[in-house]
Chain A
Amino acid sequence: MEVPNNLQIDKQFLASPIKKAVDKFQLLPEFLKVRGLVKQHLDSYNYFVNTEIKKIIRANSLIQSSIDPETYIRYTNVKIGDPSIEIDHSVDNLTPHRCRLSDTTYAAPILVDITYTKGMKEKREIKQKINVIIGRMPVMLRSCRCVLTGKDEAELARLGECPLDPGGYFIVKGTEKVILIQEQLSKNRIIIETDKKGHLVASVTSSTEATKSKTVILMDKEKIFLQLNAFPKPVPIMVVMKAMGIESDQEVVQMVGRDPRYAALLLPSIQECATENIFNQQQALEYLDNKVKKFAFSNVNQEGRALSILRDVFLANVPVREQNFRPKCIYAAVMLRRMMDAILNKDAIDDKDYVGNKRLELSGQLISLLFEDLFKTMNGEVKKQMDLALTKNLARSFDNSNYLTRDSITQGLERALSTGNWDLKRFKMHRKGMTQVLARLSFIASVGHMTKVSPQFEKSRKVSGPRALQPSQWGMLCPCDTPEGEACGLVKNLALMTHVTTDEEEGPLISLCHSLGVEGLELLSAEELHTPNSFLVIFNGLILGKHRQPQRFATNMRKLRRAGKIGEFVSVYVNDKQCCVYIASDGGRVCRPLVIADKGISRIKEHHMQEMRDGVRTFNDFLREGLIEYLDVNEQNNALIALYEGEPKEDITHIEIEPFTILGVCAGLIPFPHHNQSPRNTYQCAMGKQAMGNIAYNQLSRMDSLLYLLVYPQRPLLTTRTIELVGYDKLGAGQNATVAVMSYSGYDIEDAIVMNKSSLDRGFGRCIVLKKSVAILQKYGNNTQDRIRRPDRKGVDHHKMKVLDEDGIAAPGEIIRPYDIYVHKEVPMNTKDNSQNIQFKPSHQTYKGAKGETAVIDRVALSSDVNNNLCIKFQIRHTRRPEVGDKFSSRHGQKGVCGTIVQQEDFPFSERGICPDLIMNPHGFPSRMTIGKMIELLGGKAGVSCGRFHYGSAFGEPSGHADTVEAISKTLVDKGFSYNGKDFLYSGITGSPLQAYIFMGPIYYQKLKHMVLDKMHARGRGPRVMLTRQPTEGRSRDGGLRLGEMERDCLIAYGASMLIYERLMISSDPFEVQVCRVCGLLGYYNHKLKTGICSSCKNGENISKMKLPYACKLLFQELQSMNIVPRLKLTEA
């Protein structure tokens, strides 16, 4: 009737069905398809190979003789060839798998084009050469230089490669090496912190191509000082400012800001400067010259050094052009201002652990440093040789290009990669443990290894700050996956969608900023610097100028980024507190993709997703059309990110793609992790890496030194989206076991599990252990060589040679027992001189395994090793079924050993005839609070009964990536089970019903690599150490079990003296000695005279026999040898 028109429309709107949120999950597989799991490594390496290496060569393009500048070599171009190896002057293409098997390095030649001079003086010609090899660069697998890029599954299979293997590692001398991601504090940024003494400090770690330095401005007793390594003591900051040409105190105050509080804080420093009588630049420089660190050897005039230090060392990242120190002054002033802000307001202190202040150093950057160093070293060598040739006038027509050698770069790179030591004197870099052998224990272990981020500090530091979970880690670093113990919280892992940026060209971005209205520093007076409402624009830590409309500027920059005009990883961050706009394009920032939203409404519409499902739209299209963008940690602070679409907020700028992507690869395997107590997930992240399963599709053609495989691995019944995305469903590491949660037999205390013997008979938990042993036929200097003889079928050792073929090498398929010989090898007795008939002595290699176990020779491979010796590799296989003491674990950090194995007929059964595979004690639940495991059981049970894999992705219930307990219960009831997952069971022993309903269903169980067979150890008699005659130590040496100090203490306290006597002497190292009762020294036993004789008294009259531990006798003799005389005083016993 008289309802206003607009109200009616509202009603209609309300009545219309709520538009369903677009399912953005499909983006993830698409994202991972273009990205892979280790894109950060690949991108970084690709950037190095395609861009960085060219820059390095260009920067060092000329080698010029210092004697004759007309003699030179100039590099004009560089490229990396195809992975290949040169054997006996023929070039052979390499495949990664061939390298793994033949212990070679997967590397490609570094090819340079050069122009150079040939000959001297008049005869000099300028020549050109292309594709000169200066070394071999190890190639990262799946990078742009690798043969595997762009290959499909069939082609990969032909190359012997697993399609699920993510790449991102190197193969050096046959071993797979990962360069760990290194976490560092960002370079060239102002950081406000408090130092050890509690002073407030503003510091910048400058890093440019030329120099590296650390500049610290600190406040001590109200005065402000500059601390630089070049100055032994801190120098007043005002003097420095004056030395850089800001002579007026007022200008300094203006630069810092006109707030009277800043001036008040600066006053003591200004006063000090005045009391020192420093008023102009000249005086300041003189003052500083005196403060410069003096070198012991150089008598060089100190004058002028202060200026060069200020130019080159102080804030080295700020360039000084034409002696214009003004940018540096402004930079210092901004540092001062930030510091004073922090004094006035403690909140302004930077958080060092904030992820936005961190940079991740990746393989590309690290190799680039290494290469630069080696390249410069090589150039130095070449120059030296050129000079040498010129001075000696040796070769009138010498060819410069011949001096370019390959070995130094090749070997330098190879050595660094295989030892993990980056020792670069040029860059003051001495780091150890940068590379690790890729963990191949399980598929997930190797993927997890590639996302590992190792910290820069030493692990022993007892600080909680860096170890704590940072809110800014959200979505970037996995909150679960960190080791326990000393590295807890320091070693981190990347989350599923994290990307690490690479460097981007700065020049165009700077000019773009200026054209978007940034007022350059040259144009600004000190006063104008900090006018209200204008923000400083800081680009990669460098002050570009100021902008009067920062928000507009930021929006414009972002629009350009979304339009693809500037790189997608450039971050624009408006910091309102500091009145700064930060623009970053540097490498090593972590970032992640987010869906862009306008006023809370996602830009991705259903039709976009439909196009993607139809395959006409890729993830990159989303990026290009500005539907998705990458945000780094800092820019995230400017965004309001909604978890799901449809949250009623106007100012939402972004929407998460999927919440479970905040977890990493390892934590992604856990079903319902959001229902577990958090440490349980952390434990599982560590244990998932020890689980046996399938390693890769090519696992049987590999030759790893130790390989654990499961005979019948399964795909988990309760999967997560991450499992499908990373391929764990194809390379699983566990089996779905029907678990009954009940107490049984008492052999299940302390998390032990009871296993069904019939299940084990049928293959549950059965595993294959493959061990490699190598025999090398060494070549010697005198033209001799180890040799292999045919087995002697009738000799003394013939029973040990049963496994040998006629060629003296063990035959594949033979059963090998301990002490069997697998190579009938002989070594020459004489390896020194060239005598004619050299005798050989046998040097058998025997199999050392557990007694009573039968292993089989799986494969034998012959290849040549690095030194061109024949190398025979044996893979010895041992199939094991689970036994009491083997370790198992579910995916919820609940590990336990097998407590006992029980016949199936003794196991409880339900009236449907279901009999569990293993029984777990219910005491495992209350204290662990792993509700996720219970839901996994329910979901698994529903899954097997309805024939559909159920999902348990983290936080997946709202978006449908995890089944709810209600839905699962409904399925259970439909299939005739109780909604709560409990079953009515009968005892298998008596046949009568059990008193309680038993919670029973399938849970995915992992068999862990710790098995009793590898650890079991006991000994009665056995080997002893030569020196002390005490039993050896350790299982590998068949050692004794030590009765230690504390055990001894107990025995003493108890008074069991005879037992102590027996344990510590009779069973250890008893020794009979002759003691002289007169002098108290040890004598000896003369076998001819059959008496003991004291060698110091020279007679045998007062000799007593007694027993001592041999170690005691040894101690006496050692003491005597250093002129201490221990004497024994004997009494009657």
Chain B
Amino acid sequence: MEGISYQRFPKIKIREMKDEYLKFELRETDVSMANALRRIMIAEVPTIAIELVEIEVNSTVLNDEFLAHRLGLIPLTSDKAMGMRFSRDCDACDGDGQCEYCSVEFHLSVRCDQDQTLDVTSADLLTADPNVIPVDVANAARSTSFDSSENKGIIIVKLRRGQELRLRAIARKGIGKDHAKWSPTATVTFMYEPDIHINEDMMATLTLEEKQSWVESSPTKVFDIDPNTQQVIVVDPEAYTYDDEVIKKAEAMGKPGLVEITGREDSFIFTVESTGAVKASQIVLNAIEVLKQKLDAVRLSEDTEEADDQFGELGAHMRGG
């Protein structure tokens, strides 16, 4: 087992970064790592979401469970989620889940006294903790433009005259594995970076029309024809969806091998879209943190120490030796 080292040093290159959107390259690692990261982002990065709803008055058209479900799905800003405790292992409140370390309390009290229908939105959810508020409210506060008509918040229910909704809700920390409402991500996906090799010699044998039709056979805009040289060039390799259309087209034109496309197995292009609960970039960092914690849990568990004797070097390796 000497000589060959499988140790690698993954690199990340950020391509595009917004609050709720992140696109980055992950290189020099393999699928298992990329997928682990993706899975953790979806299911194990903690956020805060409403978990318990105590309804005082509900004369709306929607029933209590319906409202509770809707409230739960409202994303709350959860930057402090990593530092919070899970209410199940909170010592301060003996798992009661009502203390400041593991929960945030919300109140909602709306009554409609007008003839128009009144929308109860996430903006009506009031809390004492300025760090945990519905994300759209947070966005509205941050944005400088005053188009409040555009962003009225997430509608919870509509009221007509005389209807009232009064409730207390408790938000807690949780992970997406337990319920999708705790998942910080809207979309997390990665793709293999495509490696496109055009056989220029063979391409040169094609007429312009043939090139044109070949280029157009791809449903996404991967290739184009250089207007000057009339050569086929790769415009956007990442637009390629591995649909094989161009390869099939080439075969149909009697030119198999015109283009060779392979996925590079050690580099991935990640796209992370956030619900707004946590910034997209923070999701990735949190995910890495969670992954590290998980690995630590394995590394530092007593079973692993015991296994030292059996596996010797491997055990030491796992502990970072």
- Chain A interface residue bracket vs B: 35 or more
Task: Count chain B CB atoms within 10 A of each CB in A856, A903, A905, A983 and give the residue with the most.
Answer: A905
Which of B63, B180, B187, B243 contacts A762, CB < 8 Å?
B180
Q: Does B223 contact A (CB under 8 A)?
A: no
Q: Does B220 contact A (CB under 8 A)?
A: yes
Which of B38, B65, B219 contacts A991, CB < 8 Å?
B38
Residues of B within 8 A of A858 (CB): 63
Q: Does A1020 contact B (CB under 8 A)?
A: no
Verify B73–A904 contact, CB threshold 8 A: no
Q: A856-B65, A913-B189 are in contact. Are A991 and B220 (CB under 8 A)?
A: no
Which of A903, A909, A986, A991 contacts B32, CB < 8 Å?
A991
CB A800 to nearest CB in B, in angstroms, measures 22
- Chain B interface residue bracket vs A: 35 or more
Residues of A within 8 A of B66 (CB): 711, 768, 879
Question: Which chain B residue shows the least CB distance to A979?
Answer: B219
Q: A813-B64, A911-B189 are in contact. Are A991 and B243 (CB under 8 A)?
A: no
Q: A761-B180, A858-B63 are in contact. Are A984 and B241 (CB under 8 A)?
A: yes
CB B160 to nearest CB in A, in angstroms, measures 11
Residues of A within 8 A of B179 (CB): 761
Q: Does A1070 contact B (CB under 8 A)?
A: no
Question: Which chain B residue shows the least CB distance to A977?
Answer: B219
Question: Which chain A residue shows the least CB distance to B192?
Answer: A993
Q: A904-B42, A911-B241 are in contact. Are A856 and B189 (CB under 8 A)?
A: no
Question: Which chain B residue shows the least CB distance to A756?
Answer: B180
Which residues of chain B from 164 to 179 have a CB within 8 Å of any chain A CB?
Answer: 176-177, 179
Q: Does B133 contact A (CB under 8 A)?
A: no
Which residues of chain A from 959 to 978 have a CB within 8 Å of any chain B CB?
Answer: 972-973, 976-978
Q: Does B95 contact A (CB under 8 A)?
A: no
Q: Does A412 contact B (CB under 8 A)?
A: no
Which of A700, A759, A761 contacts B61, CB < 8 Å?
A700
Q: Does B245 contact A (CB under 8 A)?
A: yes
Residues of A within 8 A of B82 (CB): none
Which residues of chain B from 24 to 74 have a CB within 8 Å of any chain A CB?
Answer: 31-32, 34-35, 38-39, 42-43, 55, 58, 61, 63-66, 69, 73
Q: A813-B55, A904-B180 are in contact. Are A984 and B189 (CB under 8 A)?
A: no
CB A938 to nearest CB in B, in angstroms, measures 14
Question: Which chain B residue shows the least CB distance to A880?
Answer: B65
CB B153 to nearest CB in A, in angstroms, measures 19
Q: Does B191 contact A (CB under 8 A)?
A: yes
Verify A762–B242 contact, CB threshold 8 A: no
Verify A990–B273 contact, CB threshold 8 A: no
Which residues of chain B from 157 to 216 have a CB within 8 Å of any chain A CB?
Answer: 176-177, 179-181, 183, 186-192
Which residues of chain A from 991 to 1015 have a CB within 8 Å of any chain B CB?
Answer: 991-993, 997
Q: Could you tell me the distance between the alpha carbons of A972 and B32 in the complex, rounded to whole angstroms?
A: 32
Verify A905–B43 contact, CB threshold 8 A: yes
Q: Could you tell me the distance between the alpha carbons of A768 and B61 in the complex, rounded to whole angstroms?
A: 14
Verify A813–B187 contact, CB threshold 8 A: no
Q: Does A327 contact B (CB under 8 A)?
A: no
Question: Which chain B residue shows the least CB distance to A770?
Answer: B63
Which of A758, A766, A991 contacts B34, CB < 8 Å?
A991
Question: Which chain A residue shows the least CB distance to B43?
Answer: A905
Which of B55, B61, B188, B219 contacts A978, CB < 8 Å?
B219
Residues of A within 8 A of B245 (CB): 978
CB B18 to nearest CB in A, in angstroms, measures 16
Verify A758–B180 contact, CB threshold 8 A: yes
Verify A758–B192 contact, CB threshold 8 A: no
Which of A759, A879, A905, A992 contacts B39, CB < 8 Å?
A905
Residues of A within 8 A of B219 (CB): 972-973, 976-979
Question: Which chain B residue shows the least CB distance to A813?
Answer: B64
Verify B64–A856 contact, CB threshold 8 A: yes
Verify B242–A984 contact, CB threshold 8 A: yes
Q: Could you tell me the distance between the alpha carbons of A977 and B239 in the complex, rounded to whole angstroms?
A: 11
Task: Count chain A CB atoms within 10 A of each CB in B189, B190, B273 and give the residue with the most.
Answer: B189
Question: Which chain A residue shows the least CB distance to B66?
Answer: A711
Residues of B within 8 A of A986 (CB): 189-191
Verify A991–B43 contact, CB threshold 8 A: no
Which residues of chain B from 247 to 282 have a CB within 8 Å of any chain A CB?
Answer: 263, 271, 273
Q: Does A763 contact B (CB under 8 A)?
A: yes
Q: A903-B43, A912-B189 are in contact. Are A991 and B242 (CB under 8 A)?
A: no
Residues of B within 8 A of A991 (CB): 31-32, 34-35, 38, 190
Which of B31, B177, B183 contacts A990, CB < 8 Å?
B31
Q: Could you tell me the distance between the alpha carbons of A913 and B179 in the complex, rounded to whole angstroms?
A: 19
Q: A879-B65, A976-B241 are in contact. Are A992 and B180 (CB under 8 A)?
A: no
Q: Does A877 contact B (CB under 8 A)?
A: yes
Verify A997–B243 contact, CB threshold 8 A: yes
Task: Count chain A CB atoms within 10 A of each CB in B63, B179, B186 and give the residue with the most.
Answer: B63
Verify A813–B34 contact, CB threshold 8 A: no
Q: Does A910 contact B (CB under 8 A)?
A: yes
Residues of A within 8 A of B180 (CB): 757-759, 761-762, 904
Q: Could you tell me the distance between the alpha carbons of A700 and B242 in the complex, rounded to whole angstroms?
A: 50
CB B129 to nearest CB in A, in angstroms, measures 25
Q: Does A1080 contact B (CB under 8 A)?
A: no
Residues of A within 8 A of B187 (CB): 912-913
CB A734 to nearest CB in B, in angstroms, measures 18
Q: Could you tell me the distance between the alpha carbons of A909 and B43 in the complex, rounded to whole angstroms?
A: 15
Question: Which chain A residue shows the least CB distance to B178?
Answer: A761
Question: Which chain A residue shows the least CB distance to B244?
Answer: A997
Q: A762-B73, A905-B39 are in contact. Are A768 and B63 (CB under 8 A)?
A: yes
Residues of A within 8 A of B73 (CB): 762-763
Q: Does A988 contact B (CB under 8 A)?
A: yes
Verify A993–B242 contact, CB threshold 8 A: yes
Verify B176–A988 contact, CB threshold 8 A: no
Verify B31–A992 contact, CB threshold 8 A: yes
Question: Mask for A1079-1092, Cβ within 8 A of B = 1, else 0?
Answer: 00000000000000
Question: Which chain A residue shows the least CB distance to B70?
Answer: A763
Q: Could you tell me the distance between the alpha carbons of A983 and B244 in the complex, rounded to whole angstroms?
A: 11
Verify B189–A909 contact, CB threshold 8 A: yes
Q: A813-B55, A978-B243, A984-B241 are in contact. Are A913 and B271 (CB under 8 A)?
A: yes
Question: Which chain A residue shows the least CB distance to B181?
Answer: A761
Question: Which chain B residue shows the least CB distance to A906?
Answer: B39
Q: Could you tell me the distance between the alpha carbons of A757 and B32 in the complex, rounded to whole angstroms?
A: 23
Question: Mask for A96-126, Cβ within 8 A of B = 1, else 0?
Answer: 0000000000000000000000000000000
13 A-B contacts, Cβ less than 8 Å apart?
A758-B183, A761-B181, A813-B64, A877-B63, A877-B65, A905-B42, A905-B176, A910-B189, A911-B271, A979-B219, A982-B243, A988-B35, A991-B31
Knowing that A976-B239, A997-B243 touch, tell me 5 more A-B residue pairs with CB under 8 angstroms. A761-B181, A763-B69, A904-B183, A977-B219, A991-B34
The 5 lowest CB-CB distance pairs between A and B, nearest first, are A991-B35, A913-B187, A761-B180, A758-B180, A911-B191
Q: Which residues does B use to contact A, with CB under 8 Å? A: 31-32, 34-35, 38-39, 42-43, 55, 58, 61, 63-66, 69, 73, 176-177, 179-181, 183, 186-192, 219-220, 239, 241-245, 263, 271, 273
